[in-house]
Amino acid sequence: MRKAVVLLSGGLDSTTVLALAQATGYDCYTISFDYGQRHNFELEAAAAIAAQAAVAAHKVIRLDLGAIGGSALTDPDIAVPQAAQHSDVASGIPVTYVPARNTVFLSLALGWAEVLGAQDIFIGVNAVDYSGYPDCRPAFIEAFEHVANLATKAGVEGLQMTIHTPLIAMSKGEIIQAGSELGIDYGRTVSCYRADEAGRACGRCDACHLRTAGFEQAGLPDPTPYLS
Amino acid sequence: MRKAVVLLSGGLDSTTVLALAQATGYDCYTISFDYGQRHNFELEAAAAIAAQAAVAAHKVIRLDLGAIGGSALTDPDIAVPQAAQHSDVASGIPVTYVPARNTVFLSLALGWAEVLGAQDIFIGVNAVDYSGYPDCRPAFIEAFEHVANLATKAGVEGLQMTIHTPLIAMSKGEIIQAGSELGIDYGRTVSCYRADEAGRACGRCDACHLRTAGFEQAGLPDPTPYLS
């Protein structure tokens, strides 16, 4: 079996990616990041999901992104807005955007892949029902894959590193449908930017909004525990 | 003044880069990484150098690269070899190589640059007298610059992010000469992979070997405090 490193946040998308990677026959090594995010319940969800999926190994990397600031997800002085009030006027990029987050996460996944001798990395970015983050676009992923091939021993030795984005062209409804067919219990995943300590979702932020609409599109009951 | 983020390890190369960036007129923000490296004395040297250079701000990001492993610099089970015994047989890449290190460091510098509104990042990579790390090559830097432009708000808004590598084509001797002309006291910088707690260098590892040869090339006295 080929080894793959899978970025696992504990959310709906990355949990689906893990199931898809395993269904394709990869031996999966999951990686999560403790980066000062507000929604820390995610990390517990990720560990539980990794354990249930019987991954080869699950790793949590501590990383002080809060020291850099600039995001409502890591800076307590920036409020997480409700859906449809969220954009930066100039760029359309929301305040929940964490500067360079996917670049940082992919870099660390790349480092682990190199140590494992894995040439495949899976990430649950999505360019359809997404929050408008620049580092979720296909052009960004292609550019990072090029970096991955130049930055590593594998690249020097002529092996190909691949960044897999199985969700990139899927709607949230299609993602939920695909995952449900693979037996995922989405009640265990957390998407909300403002979830409480028990993992209950606010139902109002951008992430909740996208998720709720996704279950409607998929024609499936929404198992998310909501606060209200 | 244009703002720039400068990666500062406390070593000879990055200290020279900081002096060059300041001499070119940039308002410099220095960033160091506490990543589980053996040579932790570097961090103290970096802070002292940043203070003496009167930078706009100096930031230390904690990051658990040891959790990934795979390098003699972060894994106590892998010995740091002496010079000329250091290569991995298959690739020529030494065991002191930290997987994806420059990709991770540049990603975090990019995140901070984005928060600061800086479009310029300086890194002291060198493709002449270097240790054979894949992520020091010009092609890697170009690829990362492309990622930087796709990953960020600045890129979305059409601004150009630039990764500056003023040392990339210089020999170690030329670097030392340039820095000495700018008044750098290299006795304050640390290069050794096995420096003791007082910052004294072993004189035998690859980093020491390159540094010593550099002072010879430059025709300048070597101010490095050596153990032996």
Round to whole Å and give the CA distance between A100 and A64: 13
Question: Is pLDDT above 80 for A86?
Answer: no
User: Which residue did the predictor score with more confidence, B160 or A76?
Assistant: B160
pLDDT tens-digit readout, A150-196: 988 777 788 899 999 999 999 999 999 999 999 999 998 888 877 88
Mean per-residue pLDDT of chain B: 86
- Residues of B with Cβ-Cβ distance to A103 under 8 angstroms: 107, 110-111, 147-148, 151
pLDDT tens-digit readout, A22-41: 999 999 999 999 987 766 78
Q: If pLDDT is split at 50, 70 and 90, which confidence band does A42 have?
A: confident
CB A34 within 8 A of CB A63: yes
CA atoms within 13 A on the CB side of A187: 6
Q: State the pLDDT at residue B85.
A: 45
Q: If pLDDT is split at 50, 70 and 90, which confidence band does A83 have?
A: low
Q: State the pLDDT at residue B120.
A: 97
Interface of B with A in 185-224 (CB under 8 A): none
> Closest Cα partner for B71 from B101, B27, B105?
B101
- Residues of B with Cβ-Cβ distance to A88 under 8 angstroms: 153
Which pTM value belongs to this model? 0.88
Q: How far is B178 from chain A (nearest CA, A)?
A: 28
pLDDT tens-digit readout, B168-203: 999 999 999 999 999 999 998 888 877 887 778 999
B153 touches chain A (CB under 8 A): yes
Q: Which of A19-28, A86-95, A127-136 has the highest mean pLDDT?
A: A19-28
Q: What is the mean pLDDT of residues B67-81?
A: 67
B101·A111 Cβ contact <8 A: yes
The H-assigned helical ranges of B12-169 are 12-23, 41-52, 101-116, 138-151, 153-156
A91·B134 Cβ contact <8 A: no
A150 touches chain B (CB under 8 A): yes
Q: What is the mean pLDDT of residues B145-149?
A: 95
What are the structural domain ranges in chain B?
A: 3-218
CB A38 within 8 A of CB A207: no
Q: Dump strand ranges (E) for chain A.
A: 3-7, 27-34, 57-62, 120-122, 162-164
Nearest to B111 among A59, A68, A148 (CB): A68
Question: Is pLDDT above 60 for B59?
Answer: yes
B111·A156 Cβ contact <8 A: no
Tell me the residue type at A183.
G
Question: Is pLDDT above 80 for B20?
Answer: yes
CATH code for the part of the protein at A3-218: 3.40.50.620
B62·A63 Cβ contact <8 A: yes
* Strand, coil or helix: B121: strand
* Strand, coil or helix: A20: helix
Q: State the pLDDT at residue A22.
A: 98
Contacts of A142 (CB under 8 A, 6+ apart): none
User: Which residue did the predictor score with more confidence, B52 or B41?
Assistant: B52
Interface of B with A in 109-128 (CB under 8 A): 110-112, 114-115
Question: Is pLDDT above 60 for B156?
Answer: yes
Nearest to B104 among A93, A104, A156 (CB): A104
pLDDT tens-digit readout, A148-163: 999 887 777 888 999 9
CB B184 within 8 A of CB B12: no
Q: How far is A212 from chain B (nearest CA, A)?
A: 27
Q: What is the mean pLDDT of residues B76-88?
A: 55
A225 touches chain B (CB under 8 A): no
User: Percent of chain B, pLDDT > 70?
Assistant: 85
Round to whole Å and give the CA distance between B142 and B162: 9
Question: Is pLDDT above 70 for B39?
Answer: no
